[in-house]
Amino acid sequence: MDLLAALRSHRLLGIVRGGDADAALKTVLTLIEEGVTLVEVSLSGRDALDVIARARAALGPDAPLGAGTVLSADDARAAHRAGADFVVTPAVSDGITAARELGLPVLAGVMTPSDILAARRLGADAFKIFPAEQAGGPGYLRALRGPFPELPFVPVGGVDAVAAREYLARGAVAVGVGSPLIGDAADGGGLDELRTRAGEFLDVIREAAEDGR
């Protein structure tokens, strides 16, 4: 898949990390039904590889589906076998190199300019500012875009609807959202509430598009 094109098109990456594999699968499918069509399943969740494999079987071969929290080459290979077609890392790691060797695009976790340069050398397709809230929020994104104006940044970590608006206004190619979007759905919580939150975030994306951001 063309990860960068997908990020530019959808602008919202849903991050599913759950303690209940069945609930996590339902969360993935519900997000996609509601229009959050770019989703990653974190490998730190319970039976995450099985969730990815079951989601892939349900969605078919063409739906974008990622594996998150890829820490190592073994993680990247396992995600590929499960059916993920992109990977997301929390940091610069061997997982980037292994994923690229497998033909998988990578959203690489970075926090500093040195991280960004290292991830770019390894072939990352886009750069996940993580943890964005602790790094300095939208102001830090603006600072990074000074020396790296053309690079695609995706803030992740503490991104609620208000922060999402600010990041997109400051030039983020997309935002990655975990608990402010997922809530407790991936642990067995209500899917109606998940649908409501998905609608709120999709409204932010639509507003950004209307404003030309």
Active-site positions read: 40, 128
Burial class (CB in 10 A: 0-12, 13-18, 19+), 132: buried
Question: How far apart are the C-alpha atoms of 120 and 118, rounded to whole Å?
Answer: 5
CA 78 to chain centre: 18
